[in-house]
Amino acid sequence: MRPEKHIDLYFTTRSPADGDSDHNLRLDKQADVLGMSSNLVVMNQTHSAKIEQVSEPGEIDADGCFSIESGLALSVRVADCVPVFFWDDDATLTGVVHAGWRGTMAKIALRFTDKVQHQAGIESHSLHYSLGPSIGKCCYNVGEDVFKAFSETWPNSRDFFTRCRKGFFLDLRAANRFLLNAAGAKEGGSLELCTCCERRRFYSYRVEPGRGRNWGVIIRHGSQS
Ligand SMILES: [Zn+2]
């Protein structure tokens, strides 16, 4: 039997309706299957570092959100960027973050933990996080401009780049891990899957730009207390 209060986390794979871009890009069409279409929170993501607290279903302009309400399905869509899912020790809070290279460089993961602390009074060391499938350092070849931009704003970030004859390779998961571990958050249940290597299972912007998005959803069930 499932405990009265619990948190579910979903991550979608490629759909059999692969040729239908409308299907691929709209979670509400898929959420019906999971019975979540009426309690869905969808972020209009712009690679910003904006975090919002939410208390009802709907669309918001943000790249991260959290809630202390039970039953809200917080969603994030990615096709190489890192989806980060959050919950706390008491299963009171859920959250999601969309971290591409811009968001990671702007330390969106720390903006999330700061905002949760200020608005919900939950300390970062009470938080747990999970990283979803995203492009790995094996495949994330970036330009020197990205390397320079990181180095200028974040001195330690050089550690997250591998330089070889093919250029610079960025480890986005390691960068987000570094930030969250430094804040005292605990990692659990991450999936070490590269969307580019696993292109038959997930959408990858690098492989097929605009083809579709993988959706991540976190939802808390049970009472508020
Ligand atoms: Zn890869």
- Spatial distance between the Cα atoms of 143 and 126, rounded to a whole number of angstroms: 37
Which fold does the domain 6-221 belong to in CATH? CNF1/YfiH-like putative cysteine hydrolases (3.60.140)
Question: Mean pLDDT for the chain?
Answer: 89
Count of CB atoms situated within 10 Å of the CB of 200: 8
Q: What is the mean pLDDT of residues 131-153?
A: 95
- Spatial distance between the Cα atoms of 61 and 108, rounded to a whole number of angstroms: 15
How much is the pLDDT for 225? 45
For residue 132, report the distance from its CA to the centre of ligand 1, in Å.
Answer: 14
For residue 38, report the distance from its CA to the centre of ligand 1, in Å.
Answer: 35
For residue 9, report the distance from its CA to the centre of ligand 1, in Å.
Answer: 23
For residue 139, report the distance from its CA to the centre of ligand 1, in Å.
Answer: 4
SS (H, E, C) 170-208: ECHHHHHHHHHHHCCCEECCCCCCCCCCCCCCCCCCCCC
- Spatial distance between the Cα atoms of 73 and 42, rounded to a whole number of angstroms: 9
Binned at pLDDT 50, 70 and 90, residue 12 comes out as confident
Percent of residues, the chain, with pLDDT higher than 90: 70
For residue 98, report the distance from its CA to the centre of ligand 1, in Å.
Answer: 19
Query: Can you point out the beta strands (E) in 73-203?
Result: 73-78, 82-88, 94-99, 127-131, 141-142, 161-164, 167-170, 186-187
Q: Which two tokens stand for residue 92?
A: 């009171």
Radius of gyration (Cα) for the chain, nearest Å? 17
For residue 208, report the distance from its CA to the centre of ligand 1, in Å.
Answer: 14
Residue 29 pLDDT more than 70?
A: no
3-state secondary structure of 148: helix
| Domain spans in the chain, listed from the N-terminal domain onward | 6-221
pTM for the complete prediction?
0.91
For residue 118, report the distance from its CA to the centre of ligand 1, in Å.
Answer: 37
For residue 170, report the distance from its CA to the centre of ligand 1, in Å.
Answer: 11
Residue 160 pLDDT more than 60?
A: yes
pLDDT digit string, tens, across residues 91-139: 999 999 999 999 999 999 999 999 999 999 999 999 999 999 999 999 9
pLDDT digit string, tens, across residues 184-220: 999 998 999 999 999 888 889 988 887 778 889 999 9
For residue 32, report the distance from its CA to the centre of ligand 1, in Å.
Answer: 31
Ion ligand 1, residues whose Cβ is below 5 A away? 136, 138-139, 194, 196-197
For residue 163, report the distance from its CA to the centre of ligand 1, in Å.
Answer: 16
For residue 46, report the distance from its CA to the centre of ligand 1, in Å.
Answer: 24
Residue 23 pLDDT more than 80?
A: no
- Spatial distance between the Cα atoms of 205 and 213, rounded to a whole number of angstroms: 8
Helical axes 108-120 vs 172-182, angle rounded to 10°: 30
